[in-house]
Amino acid sequence: MLRRLSTLAAGLVVAGAAALSFASPAQASTVDLTFGPLSIGEYCHAQVSSSALIGLYESAGLRCYSGSNVYVGTGDAYLACKYLTTDVVMAALRGPSNALVCRVIR
């Protein structure tokens, strides 16, 4: 009887450990995604002006330009990140060469 009880207890411990290993959540990580002028231009074309082809994240903000480098409007960097990726966006940052860096959670 004692042997059966100890075998049953050991089985419950193993089953509990297995259940815990399946129930643990996946680890999320923070990733920086960099978008250049043409990718930003897609957002600009869709959300700011149909004549926009290029976008730059300058010191004055996210600015949209036509193919002949004529300024056509200003966009929102955070919304551009939301437009360009399906990941959860934490922040929109200015990167090197006026790139848009989207900090996302994956």
pLDDT digits (tens, 9 = 90+) for 57-101: 999 999 999 989 999 999 999 999 999 999 999 999 999 999 999
Q: Which two tokens stand for residue 34?
A: 């960099």
Q: Is residue 69 part of a domain?
A: yes
Q: Is residue 84 part of a domain?
A: yes
Q: Is residue 50 part of a domain?
A: yes
Position 6 scores a pLDDT of: 52
Domain count of the fold of the chain:
1
Q: Tell me the C-alpha distance between 6 and 71, whole Å.
A: 78
Whether this prediction's pTM lies above 0.85 is answered by no
**pLDDT per residue over 15-61, tens digit each?**
555 444 555 567 899 999 999 999 999 999 999 999 999 999 999 99
Residues written for the chain = 106
Q: Is residue 1 part of a domain?
A: no
The torsion angles phi and psi of 70, rounded to 5 degrees, stand at -95, 130
- The parent domain of residue 62 ranges over 30-105
Position 7 scores a pLDDT of: 52
Position 12 scores a pLDDT of: 45
Position 16 scores a pLDDT of: 52
Q: Tell me the C-alpha distance between 86 and 100, whole Å.
A: 16
Strands 61-66 and 71-75: antiparallel
